[in-house]
Amino acid sequence: MSSSVGTNVSEEGRARGAQAQLKVSTSSDDGNLIGRSGRGRKIAVYVALVAFALVYIYPFIVQLSTSFKTDGDAVNNPLALIPNPITTEAFQRIAQTDFPLWFTNSVVVTLLVTAGRVFFNSLAGYALARLKFVGRDALFTAILAVLAVPGIVLLIPKFLVLNYLGIYNTYPALFVPLLVDAAGVFIMKQFFESISPSMEEAARLDGAGTFRTFWSVILPMARPALITLTILSFQGSWNELAHFIIAANDPKLYTLTRGVASLTSGGLGSGSQFPITMAAALLMTIPTALVFIAFQRYFTQGANAGADKG
Amino acid sequence: MTRTTRTATLSIALTGALLLTACGGGGGFEEDSGSTAPASASGPVDLKMLIASSGDAETNAVKAAADAWAKESGNTVTVTVASDMNQQLAQGFASGSPADVFYMDAGRFADYAKNGSLFAYADQLKDNNDFYESLRQAFTYEGKQYCAPKDFSTLALQINTDAWSKAGLTDADIPTTWDDLASVAKKLTTAKQAGLGLGLGIDRVGAFVVQNGGWWLNEDGTKATAATPEVEEALKYVQDNVKAGTFKFANQLDSGWGGEAFGTQKAAMTIEGNWIKGAVKNDYPKLKYTTVELPEGPKGKGTLQFTQCWGVASDSKAQAQAIDLVEALTSVEQQMAFADAFGVMPSRQSAADQYKAKFPEDAPFIAGGDYGHGPVNAPGMEQVVGDLNSKLEGFGNANLPQVLEGFDTNAGAVLTQ
Amino acid sequence: MSTTDTAEAPGTSRAPRRRRGGKGSGQRQSVAGWLFVTPVLVVLGLFLVIPIFMALWVSFTNWNGRGSPFSSQVNLVGAQNYTALLTQEGLSRQDFMISLRNTFYYVIGVVPLQTILAISLAVIVNQKFLKGRSFFRTSFYFPSVVSSVAISLVFLYLFTGTGAVNQFLGIFGIDGPTWFSDPRGLIHMIGGGIGLWSTDAPPDFLANTQIMNLSLWEWLSGPSVAMSAIMLQVIWTTAGTFMLMFIAALQDLPTEVEEAATVDGANAWQRFRNVTVPHLRPTILLVITLGVIGTWQVFDQMYVMTQGGPAKTTLTPAYLSYTAAFRQQQWGQGAAMAFLLFILIFVLTSFQRFVLRDKDDAKQKKAERKQRRAAKKKVTA
């Protein structure tokens, strides 16, 4: 269970969403629903668009401005977008909590999980797509079956297994169960199936071994799918909460999501201090936004059409 | 499924089952030792302490005390502040590696005593009888006292003195009966301020129940007694005032607890315990208020007592050192230091005079020690009490007889186990 | 080797796989194949497959959290945990039913609304004449990428009693509720508003008929105000992901079909209803399926924002399972709840896919399968 369950989209959903996003940017034209669009229609569409955009952007602006407000200002003037007075109290207070530690933990876990998933998922996806071995179809069915298990069902059982293996409350518990995910294998398999086998035949004729073929020939061709996988893995680990709740108890092992969640449930003492929670939320969101923007630019440059098979 | 698929899944399942039985007792789980002599680790020990703090003042005080003992004994103590005490305790016990020493609330104590998570060390304390009898009782299960009470607090009535004088009230108007309280609350209620702000749950309205001579369970905790006239009348008194708009609960005042409503001046009075001193000093320093004893009910004085003890885990490998730490933390000097830092009252009777001399304004709280009632502490009651609290959240509209009967039924199912 | 019935993967390519020549590389491939999948096998097996069996075991015991669940001291209690949740009159069943009721309203609120919002956003963003499409698309999709914890914190702030939302409503003269502290059910409130009944004194018939520990009145409450706030948040967050799927599907619609419809005299709404929507049908089905699966598992928001309150109106089976095990140390019951949830989701999605299936497509598939079986029989005969 590696996706953020809280956004109500399962792993499969995220996979398809990301594939769809790839597709969207590679297609050059759209051509729907118009033809002869009157000015009235255009205005209506723009109005609706701006209205929705406001609804979607406003919460983030609130996040930004509230983190620079004082407690009193935040409570008394929630609609005001400019803090009065502007203060960095909230950030100072956050620096006093274990926030830097949580941030570090999240970064480490995310890097490990993303690297692990990109590597292991593509290995397995390639094997399932291209290599002949006994039980391949059975294995694939089993992986699909795993996709069908709702992540939340695994909360208690994963805790039991972690405990049983003796790694509960240790660093490995945070990332080892997340190193692989069924949806990622599914994506990579689908992608590899769409690649023409001529490349591999050429490599084989040249005498390259299976792993060599995979690593030097096929994998570089898989860039768009790998990017998709990287983004999904980043999201799946940076935003993950439930897994970290059950994986460890030690505050030194808190990741960003767990630590920030604890700020609302007593970590700050009495009273709800909004600037602090907003500042924490802001600091959590910035890395996500950066990664998002970075890869968005990659997409608009045009990706390999192989992603279209989604 | 094709045949190959079926055989494959079958073999996976079998392998799985084999693996499970092969790895007999997994590494993470500890077997229950059940011995009565404390486990003692050799050499310098690193004790783990888990506390639920009311704020920075408490955290720093506990850390300072633990460090002092650590330096003296040559061990180390790591103090952790829990963000979700119940969950972290439960997870700790389940994984077999809980904290060595931890806060144990009287309301949850029975469950942990019953399932063997606690080590009963009270009989090994040097001066156990110095603790108040009622507090020792709160931590006794099946005749055995498990741990040392670390402090206690009681509920009293806080009054916003500015609002008080603005409403034209004087010292003579301080309420001493239920009728007094109702009329005073009425005078204090304005469009922007409720007369009395109450926190949610039976941990506040229970005071009225005690004042009317009732309680949720009978004396030895074997039968539920919520659906009795004493309890119903007490709750009805509160409900009538809620309907009149003079009493309001925290959720009606957009506050997390009574103290927040009081501090943000959405309520002119509130019923809270000692902890409100620290909260007001930290978060609402400009507030002027005074504390008085709760008014009497029809059957006399009554209030609620809250207490926690220093729990020691059965799974701890350094129990002897843990007990030593607890002794240091419950000395009279240390208890007075804690009282100074975050306003709790010492659990030792020998400290009472010192406390009264140093904090005369806390006289109403300490007086509650004589007529206060502890929390519901029968095992397995947490879910039942939680259900009662959730049904009382919409207090103004609650069907009290139905809710209380439901409590009795649910409690009955649990108490007979 | 035949392609297995991958019912979960409608997008799998159905092109017949080319047979690779043996040539001695066959064995190498076999070894390589198994080596490549081993990491996935180990991790998934250890942390997904085995936990399921372990939880199944625990759900049949009364393990209280100390010691190993496989030790001899742990009692097997058979189906007791399950009956306590389903058939036995008592607090566990009451809480479980409350959680089911809450989540039921949550699901039927969130899934249609987020689907409709996603389609609307997709259609708007997809307009040919639009400038700055990428910016708008990004801003609609961005919330799905952000951590639910961060978003929950923001919405906690926006929806306080004197928060931004209520101040905004105040401009229109509406007195907003104290969202997260308000346990009143929407259906109760609407009914009371139009005079169907009085929320203070519900009709006897509803208040006194008890089904599974809850009165009919309680069953009919609708989502509470607090739950509605969470629903708004979730719809806002996840519509973006589904919007992308719809945009991709819309771009697949050939312009000629649209233009043909326009030439035939259809106006925009008719075009939308008779050309676009049928084309989007598989995507709609997918979005609804994913929506149902996702909404039944909602957990993060309850953990961060409401902890099941107020008055248990945001209690969900996922959160209840967690608290039963981790807070009240009733691990058997927590595990039983998790399995019941699993079965429920499985049944619901299967049922929904069956109901919304493309009947012509199904008939065709059935005919194909029959053909294949006949062909196989011939070969093996």
- Mean pLDDT for all residues in chain C: 83
Residue C15 pLDDT exceeds 60 = no
Q: Are C101 and C186 in contact (CB under 8 A)?
A: no
Residue pLDDT, tens place only, C315-347:
999 999 988 888 777 888 888 998 898 888 888
Contacts of C156 in chain A (CB under 8 A): 264, 272, 277
Minimal CA separation from B159 to chain C, in Å? 25
Q: Residue B36's pLDDT band (boundaries 50, 70, 90)?
A: low
CB nearest to B383's CB, from C2, C45, C91 = C91
Domain containing A193 — which CATH number?
1.10.3720.10
Q: Residue C12's pLDDT band (boundaries 50, 70, 90)?
A: very low
CB contact under 8 A, C67 and B17: no
Give residues 187 to 216 of C whose Cβ lies within 8 Å of A: none
Instruction: Compute the distance between CA of residue B225 and CA of residue B212 in angstroms, rounded to an integer.
Output: 13
Question: Hey, is the C-beta of A148 within 8 angstroms of any chain B C-beta?
Answer: no
Q: Residue B243's pLDDT band (boundaries 50, 70, 90)?
A: very high
> Which pLDDT does position A52 carry in this prediction?
92
Residue pLDDT, tens place only, B276-327:
887 788 778 889 999 999 999 999 999 999 999 999 999 888 899 999 999 9
- A–C interface: beta-carbon pairs under 8 A: 397
Instruction: Compute the distance between CA of residue C308 and CA of residue C315 in angstroms, rounded to an integer.
Output: 4
More confident residue, C23 or C249: C249
Question: Hey, is the C-beta of C325 within 8 angstroms of any chain A C-beta?
Answer: yes
Instruction: Compute the distance between CA of residue C25 and CA of residue B316 in angstroms, rounded to an integer.
Output: 58
State whether A11 and A135 are in the same domain: no
Cα distance from N-terminal residue to C-terminal residue, chain C: 18
**Boundaries of domain holding A157:** 98-264
> Which pLDDT does position A23 carry in this prediction?
52
Question: Which of B248, B390, B399, B414 best tests the C interface by mutation, with the highest count of C CBs <10 A?
Answer: B390
CB contact under 8 A, B115 and C65: yes
State whether A119 and A253 are in the same domain: yes
Q: Residue B81's pLDDT band (boundaries 50, 70, 90)?
A: confident
Question: Hey, is the C-beta of A225 within 8 angstroms of any chain C C-beta?
Answer: no
Question: Hey, is the C-beta of A243 within 8 angstroms of any chain C C-beta?
Answer: no
Work out the number of other CB atoms within 10 angstroms of the CB of residue C373.
10
> Which pLDDT does position A272 carry in this prediction?
65
Minimal CA separation from A129 to chain B, in Å? 17
The encoded tokens of residue C309 equal 């309150």
State whether A106 and A233 are in the same domain: yes
State whether A78 and A140 are in the same domain: no
State whether A252 and A105 are in the same domain: yes
Burial class of residue A41 in the structure, from the number of CB atoms within 10 Å of its CB (0-12 exposed, 13-18 middle, 19+ buried): middle
Question: Hey, is the C-beta of A96 within 8 angstroms of any chain B C-beta?
Answer: no
Closest chain A residue to C10, measured at CA: A310
Residue type, position A169, single letter: N
How would DSSP label each residue in B38-87? Answer: PP--SSS-EEEEEE--SSHHHHHHHHHHHHHHHHHHT-EEEEEE-SSHHH
For the domain with range B42-153+306-373, which CATH number is right: 3.30.1370.160, 3.40.190.10, 3.20.20.150, 3.20.20.70?
3.40.190.10
Mean of pLDDT values over C168-178:
87
- Residue B170: phi, psi to the nearest 5? -125, -175
> Which pLDDT does position C24 carry in this prediction?
56
Show which subunits contact C, needing at least 3 CB pairs below 8 angstroms.
A, B
Contacts of C54 in chain A (CB under 8 A): 157, 160-161, 164
Contacts of A242 in chain B (CB under 8 A): none
Q: Along the 310 residues of chain A, how does pLDDT read in single tens digits? A: 333 334 445 555 666 655 555 555 444 334 444 445 577 778 888 898 999 999 999 999 999 999 898 877 787 788 888 888 888 888 888 888 888 999 999 999 999 999 999 999 988 888 888 888 888 888 888 888 887 777 777 888 888 888 888 888 889 999 999 998 888 888 888 888 888 788 778 877 787 777 877 888 788 888 878 888 888 888 889 999 989 988 888 878 899 998 888 776 544 444 567 888 889 899 989 998 888 888 775 543 322 222 222 2
Mean of pLDDT values over B226-233:
93
CB contact under 8 A, C33 and A132: yes
Q: Are C236 and C110 in contact (CB under 8 A)?
A: no
Instruction: Compute the distance between CA of residue B323 and CA of residue B333 in angstroms, rounded to an integer.
Output: 17
Residue pLDDT, tens place only, B146-184:
999 998 889 999 999 999 999 999 989 999 999 999 999
Domain ranges of chain C: 1-53, 96-185+222-355
Work out the number of other CB atoms within 10 angstroms of the CB of residue C338.
28
Q: Residue A257 domain-assigned?
A: yes
Q: Is B303 helix (H, G, I), strand (E, B) or coil?
A: strand
Q: Which residues pair with C185 in a beta bridge?
A: C224
Residue C229 pLDDT exceeds 90 = yes
Contacts of C250 in chain A (CB under 8 A): 30, 32
Q: B154-305+378-415, what's its fold?
A: D-Maltodextrin-Binding Protein; domain 2 (3.40.190)
Minimal CA separation from C13 to chain B, in Å? 19
State whether A114 and A55 are in the same domain: no
CB nearest to C58's CB, from A78, A160, A265 = A160
CB contact under 8 A, A164 and B29: yes
Tell whether domain C96-185+222-355 is in CATH 2.30.130.10: no
Q: Residue A292 domain-assigned?
A: no
CB nearest to B28's CB, from A164, A249, A272 = A164
Question: Hey, is the C-beta of A285 within 8 angstroms of any chain B C-beta?
Answer: no
Cα B122 versus chain centre, distance: 20
- B–C interface: beta-carbon pairs under 8 A: 104
Domain ranges of chain B: 42-153+306-373, 154-305+378-415
Closest chain C residue to A196, measured at CA: C18
Full-model pTM: 0.80
Minimal CA separation from B32 to chain A, in Å? 16
Instruction: Compute the distance between CA of residue C76 and CA of residue C67 in angstroms, rounded to an integer.
Output: 15
Q: What is the DSSP letter of C48?
A: I
CB contact under 8 A, C181 and B16: no
Per the structure, how many domains does chain A have? 2
